[in-house]
Amino acid sequence: MSKQTYRVCFCFQRKFKLASSEAPSEIKELFERYSENGSMSADQLQRFLVECQGEANATLEDAQDILDKFKHINFFQHSKGLNLDAFFRYLFGDSNSPLSPNLGVHQDMTAPLSHYFIYTGHNSYLTGNQLSSDCSDVPIIKALKRGVRVIELDMWPNSTKDNVNILHGRTLTTPVELNKCLKSIKEHAFFASPYPVIVTLEDHLTPDLQAKVAEMITHTFGDILFTPGSEALKEFPSPESLKHRIIISTKPPKEYLESKSVKGKENDGQKGNAAEDEAWGKEVPDLKAKLEADNKQNDPDGGEDSQDEEDLDAGDRASQKIEAPEYKRLIAIHAGKPKGGLDEALKVDPEKVRRLSMSEPQLEKAALTHGTQIVRFTQRNILRVYPKGTRFDSSNYNPLIGWMHGAQMVAFNMQGYGRSLWLMHGMFRANGGCGYIKKPEFLLKVGPNNDVFDPRVSLPVKQVLKVKVFTGEGWHLDFKNTHFDMYSPPDFYVRLGIAGVPADSMMKKTKAIEDSWIPVWGEEFEFALSVPELALLRVEVHEYDMSEKDDFGGQTCFPVSELRTGIRSVPLHNQKGEKYDNVRLLMRFEVINI
């Protein structure tokens, strides 16, 4: 094809979206089966929804609504039903997404907070890397608008010691005032979800500044602040009972005085990795390989990086001669790590609940010898996992290691990007995107012999997920014609698979379709799932480049437990998780229970 001919064809494609001539043969065959004389009536469409899409409750009114939505497209040619063009456009439409647009919050929200995975941010105030980026309320606002429910603030005295700044301590990050962050939290807390926002405070303050913080928090949040008193809770309240409330979580001042260790700098011998900037992004760490490697150097108590990141340094603690009682009364979720090793840290107190923090290396090592103890601890208490300090580029870790042990707060650098963050975005699309997901029952129950779920035990296959990738469209609308290749259309392929427990995690890919803005793959894949409750379907599109690294063409991630079966339109997102205007795939999902 000459360059001139290519440009003419490309401009034509940019002007007109996908038409029935590009419909895969299976779509055409389905239309023939459920239509008559080239037209699909409301009755026939309802039958298609029930029999092919798995929408058992679809009514005739639902089908008629779909027909009505497509009247403006002018594909009907005086017919009262859908023709093939309109049917194909419906299948590619927003209302035919893999997750039901009408499902909303559908899980039980009346259990204690410890029974939920909670959408959690780490160093929520940073605009970029962990060492030199600006601190601001802007990333806090963005996180809240996405549905994040846990915001972390690191509190330090300002240069004159008379006010409180938020910054990443002992780095070159520029501070932002605490008061500004608190006001932004109040203003945007319930933009995406009515369920509670938890503010975790890393406290590096003297008692007089703690008293000032108590005044700021009380004045800013007023009646929406949840304050049960200075004593630790006996059981956590439910998300339902805490709707539109703000919760403060940190170590009570008294516990800082008891702590004797200086917060250590994490050093696992690895430098920050800039691979997140690559088109593919850094691959999600393989849990099985990681755990096996750690097992060879078994150090269950943590070794390096063993200090809670909320510990104060010696200078801060020395200045704490008295408590700030007003401050202590505001702390609803008490954090803290008891003296001693892991056995002591993971003890379950029947009289009170608390929050424990572990870094990702700590959890990886603890999982080797204390896996069931962690699960038992998280049935009543809250476990927060945070990225290791050597992630200077604000990258993230595999969140599944936290979730498979029941950790509620798997804290992520939301200002970063990369595959691990895509998993986090995907997980919290569940339950209406409200930021709280009920943990699977197997993580909450206790067996007849007082036994709990063991994350290290291999389980039989419970489900098989079948995924067929038909075709894709929209790149010619959202990208410049020279974005992927200077002189020819792109060569797209799809990479898809499961992120889950180690036994379920795998990735596969289609062949590359050469020189096409509207590639048709028609390939089917099967994934055997032993723990489908924690499985996430990963989907990525890349453009094959023989001479350089492959180009990124879009990604998305969905919880398998909420996937709608049938043929669905799958919208793709960029590397930061922002949805493209037009780029999407047409895929079919089928779930077989074993």
Cα 241 to Cα 58, 182, 229, 246, 436: the distances in Å are 33, 22, 17, 12, 13
What is the C-alpha to C-alpha distance for residues 475 and 538, in angstroms, rounded to an integer?
19
Q: Which residues sit opposite 174 in a β-bridge?
A: 134
Q: What angle do CA 121, 228, 204 make, to 5 degrees?
A: 50
Look at residues 427, 443, 469, 498 and name the one whose alpha carbon lies nearest to residue 589. Answer: 469
What is the C-alpha to C-alpha distance for residues 427 and 421, in angstroms, rounded to an integer?
10
115, 168, 204, 542: the catalytic one is 168
Q: Which residues of 305-322 are buried (b: 16+ CB within 10 A; e: fewer)?
A: bbbbbbbbeeebbeebee
Look at residues 584, 589, 583, 516 and name the one whose alpha carbon lies nearest to residue 559. Answer: 589
115, 122, 204, 425: the catalytic one is 122
122 is catalytic: yes
What is the C-alpha to C-alpha distance for residues 282 and 352, in angstroms, rounded to an integer?
41
What is the C-alpha to C-alpha distance for residues 467 and 591, in angstroms, rounded to an integer?
9
Residue 110 CB burial class (10 angstroms; 0-12, 13-18, ≥19): exposed
168 is catalytic: yes
Q: What share of the chain is helix, strand, coil (3-state, %, to 5)?
A: 30, 25, 45
Instruction: Enter the tokens of residue 45.
Output: 């469409």
Instruction: Enter the tokens of residue 3.
Output: 């360059």
What is the C-alpha to C-alpha distance for residues 196 and 436, in angstroms, rounded to an integer?
9
What is the C-alpha to C-alpha distance for residues 76 and 70, in angstroms, rounded to an integer?
9
> CB neighbours (10 Å) of residue 345?
23
Q: Any idea which residue has 């956590």 for tokens?
A: 236
Residues carrying an active site annotation: 122, 168
